[in-house]
């Protein structure tokens, strides 16, 4: 069993974030000890790993709640869960493509600037007029 502080340290999240997840019902079956403090078992820890991954993937709290409820429903909800994850995967793949476009832009600019600094390329600008 793990305390709130231990879980926060393990995952690098704030106490307030973990409390929010608990209060929102995003970590089901969290029990309380004799002093009424939340304690987390291995199932809670494993689910929290999933929750944090879904959050990093950009899934909204509303969608995470929906996914959680589908998980609780059991195997009958697997097709819908798969569909949710496929949608999120496609969003991530689009983000990866956008990131590569940005990297290619930066690489192109760096090549241009290197060429200008080396004297191989004449400087031009889309923002200011350059005296000839």
pLDDT digits (tens, 9 = 90+) for 61-110: 999 999 999 999 999 999 999 999 999 999 999 999 999 999 999 999 99
Same domain assignment for residues 28 and 82: no
CA distance 23 to 58: 20
Q: In terms of C-beta density within 10 A (0-12 exposed, 13-18 middle, 19 or more buried), how is residue 40 classed?
A: buried
For residue 67, is it within any domain? no
38-40 and 2-3 beta bridge pairing: antiparallel
> Is it the case that residue 42 has pLDDT exceeding 80?
yes
For residue 108, is it within any domain? yes
The mean per-residue pLDDT over the stretch 31-35 comes to 89
> Is it the case that residue 132 has pLDDT exceeding 70?
no
For residue 132, is it within any domain? yes
Cβ count near 116 (within 10 Å): 13
For residues 118 and 124, is the Cβ–Cβ distance under 8 A? no
Same domain assignment for residues 52 and 90: no
The total number of structural domains in the chain stands at 2
What is the CATH classification number for the domain harbouring 10?
A: 1.10.1660.10
For residue 116, is it within any domain? yes
Residue 2 sits in which domain range? 1-57
Distance from the Cα of residue 129 to its chain's centroid: 43
């Amino acid at each position: 069993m793990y305390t709130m502080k231990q879980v926060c340290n393990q995952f690098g999240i704030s106490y307030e974030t973990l409390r929010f997840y608990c209060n929102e019902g995003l970590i089901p079956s969290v029990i309380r000890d004799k002093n009424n403090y939340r304690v987390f078992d291995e199932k809670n820890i494993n689910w929290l790993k999933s929750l944090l991954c879904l959050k990093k993937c950009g899934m909204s709290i509303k969608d995470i709640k929906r996914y959680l409820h589908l998980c609780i429903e059991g195997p009958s909800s697997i097709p819908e869960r798969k569909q949710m994850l496929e949608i999120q995967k496609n969003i991530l793949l689009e983000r990866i493509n956008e990131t590569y476009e940005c990297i290619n832009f930066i690489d192109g600019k760096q090549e241009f600037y290197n060429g200008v600094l080396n004297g191989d390329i004449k400087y031009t600008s889309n923002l200011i007029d350059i005296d000839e």
